[in-house]
Chain A
């Protein structure tokens, strides 16, 4: 058996070769695991970006459709219904009756029609994209606050701090729609007497706050319409790269807060993309 037995250096060589083999195998496996996990993370990040882009695209499409509908309804109100009502008002003005009680009734109806025409014109303006972008965010909100106070539905106050700067048509339009949604929610559900609207213009941050002193709500007691209204606020904010937070508790009113960095470039708002939503 020991005739042609290997010498010790040969055995050492075999031993070290076998060890090197297993070390190499283990090294390969560890390298593969590290590389695979790196790829997994990379893929996850890419997938998240894709999902975020898709969500943005989807929200943008929804807003575009809503904006188109608003524009259409606004135009119809202004061009069609308002014209008909003006004609009715004119006809009423032309009716002359001898009996004073009837004449008073006709005059009252004429005044009512005039009021409807004014309200519809205001509504048409608040729905119109062109009107909002022409006036700018601050002026449009000021007009709305004025209308709210005139209506007697709620006592609204507007506070503006900082130097006003333009934020681009889409941003201002979306912010105005958020404001409208919040005010609608307040009037419909809160039973509030007071509404405070604050616009803060800080160079790197714009803040819009809408606060009411209504009944408030807890997150799990929301009905469908109010829940979807609040969801709309958050979704709209996402589209322009803003963050909306809604805080409320029972008996404590509600506060809607929108923070936006006006310097932040948003793919769908800035750059090569068209400078309007609809």
Chain B
């Protein structure tokens, strides 16, 4: 299967999740509404990246902008899912810091034509942190519903898996580049991880229910 076909499958998955999200938009809670918007934005940004890459042979400027926007949207999702007011404030500060870091990065470290690895790596670490905080909250205020039927669990598990695995992927990529090894396996690994990530996000949007979540969220307040 060529990379172009894989890319089309990837975009189709994003499109399906977007449609599912907007069909169920009213029954989703705030965090998952933001997540639906994030998936739509991902679809748009990935499409622009492809076109931009074809036209200018380098889509890194889009990756730089999207890196910060994606972080802000994931942070907003966690902002609504987490109940602790101090953590909420910390999330707002994190978004502001990440924006400042990206500006500094573009001017002094990785310019607009280079891969924004710094921002992406830090984002993965922060996602893992958010995810652990949400796991903690879930343990403190467990809901009555079975864990496996909770959108929150699937989403959070997914974020932890994606954050840690992609961090590992970046580390391995760096090692492979340094040692001039064949990167094909890593590309496929990255594709598989991305597919699993978006499919699980789709599942969590599909099973999310505002009424069911209300209980666990009100427990937490």
Give residues in A with beta carbon < 8 Å to B: 1, 3-6, 14, 18, 21, 25, 28-29, 32-33, 35-37, 39-40, 43-44
Question: Inside 8 A of A40's CB, which chain B residues have their CB?
Answer: 142-144, 147
The A interface, classified by DSSP as helix, strand, loop or mixed, is: helix
- Residue numbers in A under 8 Å from B138 (CB-CB): 36
Which listed residue, A5, A33, A37, touches B179 by the CB 8 Å rule?
A: A5
Q: How would you classify the secondary structure of chain B's contact residues: helix, strand, loop or mixed?
A: helix
A43 CB contacts on chain B under 8 angstroms: 142, 144
In contact, A25 and B135 (Cβ under 8 angstroms)? no
Known contacts A28-B160, A37-B147, then 15 further A-B pairs from the complex at CB < 8 Å, ordered by chain A residue: A3-B180, A4-B180, A5-B179, A18-B168, A18-B172, A32-B135, A33-B147, A35-B139, A36-B138, A36-B139, A39-B139, A40-B142, A40-B144, A43-B142, A43-B144
A-B contact count (CB 8 A): 41
Residues of the A chain whose Cβ atoms lie less than 8 Å from the Cβ of B168: 18, 21
CB <8 Å contact, A36 and B142: yes
- Is A44 a contact of B144 with CB atoms below 8 Å? yes
Q: How far in angstroms is the closest Cβ of chain A from B184?
A: 13
Question: B13 at interface (Cβ–Cβ under 8 A)?
Answer: no
Chain B contacts for A36, CB-based, 8 A: 138-139, 142, 147
Interface string of B162-181 (1 = CB under 8 A from A): 00110010001001001111
User: Separation in Å of the A42 CB from the closest CB of chain B?
Assistant: 8
A25 close to B172 (CB less than 8 A): no
How far is it, in angstroms, between the C-alpha of A181 and the C-alpha of B142 when the chains are bound? 44
Selected contact of B181 from candidates A5, A18, A32, A33, CB within 8 Å: A5
Answer whether residue B157 sits at the interface, using C-beta atoms and an 8 A cutoff. yes
Beta-carbon contacts under 8 Å, B162-221 to A: 164-165, 168, 172, 175, 178-181
